[in-house]
């Protein structure tokens, strides 16, 4: 794309460049005409361009953070947003509830996407996130139920709470290895999501992260995860199996509550605590293997309402210890040695 911008003098042009963080423009040329000096360049850096539903383009000429005060005027008419190099961050609610917005491109110089930035943009189907973004704020894309896929760049290290909450058309998402933190409820009610891989850089899975993801059938948990928060996979009734890595030491309350497609589970030897109702209502669960020789602390109703005849297998030398341990004793008749 070619942009033309008029300057009355060369000094005006120099001021324009200096005001825009000393960005270097290639292939600069000038020509004189009766109106004034014309600067011609294949690409002029910009702050934000909004395309409206009548086809016109609004150029917001600022630098720094894009705020809701700059965009609210176009809330009902904006259909696409292109955020350029002069923007370094997208502020809170900058495009929240822009129902007609269908696409957004975020430039590489943006480092953060603020809380609620694109929340409840129900028509949003395409988002390109630039390679400079390091954090995505709370509920940034919550309620974007037209969004089917999104690529998170390797620059991102943290994903906030409720980021994709209610994005029920989201079927796939790749979380890069750079991510170390995923907030609570990040993918809650993403009922269209079928598979997820949690990278090894993530150390904890927050509370309710995938709760009500009814279409989720495949989960890979990275080797860096040490804790799984309360209700992390609550009511994921499409989930038939999941491998918990050896790095995990604690499993929170009701983590797999209502996962009625789950048939078997192995709890690795590093786990020292298992919360209340962790497998409550897993009506197809028939086999549980616990590898720790010392019984992990166990909450109440951990294995209630499982499949008829469900068995719990533990190391052969620890059977009696498990049968006598607090809350494990409730299931004493079902505890057998690992074969």
**Residue ranges per structural domain of the chain:** 3-41, 48-160, 194-339
In tens, the pLDDT along 153-188 reads 999 999 999 999 999 999 988 899 999 989 999 999
Helix (H/G/I), strand (E/B), else coil: 266: strand
Residue 42 has, within 13 A of its CA and on its CB side, a CA count of: 2
For 48-160, CATH gives 3.80.10.10
Read off the pTM.
0.81
Could you tell me the pLDDT band of residue 27, with boundaries at 50, 70 and 90? Answer: very low
**Phi and psi (nearest 5°) for 44?**
-110, 125
199-202 contacts, C-beta under 8 A, 24 or more apart? 199/175, 199/224, 200/224, 201/177, 202/175
Q: Which has the closest alpha carbon to 170: 153, 152, 184? A: 152
For 194-339, CATH gives 3.80.10.10
In tens, the pLDDT along 47-71 reads 999 999 999 999 998 999 999 999 9
Q: Which residues make Cβ contacts (< 8 Å) with residue 253, sequence separation at least 6?
A: 230, 231, 275, 276, 277, 278, 299
Helix (H) or strand (E) holding 322, with range, is helix 319-324
């Amino acid at each position: 794309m070619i942009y033309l911008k008029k300057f009355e003098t060369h000094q005006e042009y120099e001021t324009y460049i200096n005001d825009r963080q000393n960005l270097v423009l290639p292939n600069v040329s000038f020509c004189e005409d009766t109106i004034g000096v014309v600067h011609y360049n294949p690409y002029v850096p910009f702050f934000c361009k909004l395309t409206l539903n009548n086809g016109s383009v609004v150029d917001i000429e600022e630098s720094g953070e894009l705020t809701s005060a700059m965009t609210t005027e176009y809330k009902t008419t904006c259909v696409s947003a292109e955020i350029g190099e002069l923007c370094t961050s997208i502020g809170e609610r900058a495009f929240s509830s822009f129902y007609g917005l269908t696409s957004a491109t975020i430039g590489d110089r943006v480092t953060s996407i603020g809380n609620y930035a694109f929340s409840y943009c129900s028509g949003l189907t395409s988002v390109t996130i630039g390679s400079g973004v390091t954090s995505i704020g709370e509920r940034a894309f919550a309620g974007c139920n037209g969004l089917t896929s999104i690529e998170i760049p390797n620059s991102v290290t943290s994903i906030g709470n409720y980021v994709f909450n209610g994005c029920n058309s989201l079927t796939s998402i790749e979380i890069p290895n750079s991510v170390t933190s995923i907030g609570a409820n990040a993918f809650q009610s993403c009922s269209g999501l079928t598979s997820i891989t949690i990278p090894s850089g993530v150390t904890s899975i927050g509370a309710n992260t995938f709760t009500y993801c009814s279409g989720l059938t495949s989960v890979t948990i990275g080797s860096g995860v040490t804790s799984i928060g309360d209700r992390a996979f609550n009511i994921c009734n499409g989930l038939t199996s999941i491998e918990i890595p050896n790095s995990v030491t604690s499993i929170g309350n009701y983590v797999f509550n209502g996962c009625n497609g789950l048939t078997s589970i192995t709890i690795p030897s590093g786990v020292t605590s298992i919360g209340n109702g962790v497998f409550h209502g897993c009506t197809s669960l028939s086999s549980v293997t616990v590898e720790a020789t010392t019984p992990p602390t166990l909450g109440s109703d951990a294995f209630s309402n499982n499949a008829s005849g469900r068995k719990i297998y533990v190391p052969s030398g620890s059977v009696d210890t498990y049968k006598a341990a607090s809350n494990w004793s409730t299931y004493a008749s079902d505890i057998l040695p690992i074969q």
